[in-house]
Amino acid sequence: MLKPKVAFICTHNSCRSQIAEALGRHFSSDVFDSFSAGTEPKEHINPDAVRLLKQLYGINMELTQSSKTLEELPPVDIVITMGCGVACPYLPSKRREDWGLDDPSGKSDEEFLKVIRIIEDKIHELSESLK
Q: Helix 109-130 vs helix 16-28: angle between axes, to the nearest 10 degrees?
A: 50
CA distance 74 to 122: 22
- Residue 87 is given by DSSP the state -
- Residues written for the chain: 131
Which of 6, 52, 59, 88 does the annotation list as catalytic?
88
**97-102, long-range: CB < 8 A, 24+ apart:** 99/20, 101/16
Which of 10, 37, 49, 78 does the annotation list as catalytic?
10
- Residue 52 is given by DSSP the state H
Is 10 one of the catalytic residues? yes
Which of 84, 101, 116, 126 does the annotation list as catalytic?
84
CA distance 23 to 27: 6
CA distance 71 to 32: 20
Active-site residue list:
10, 84, 88
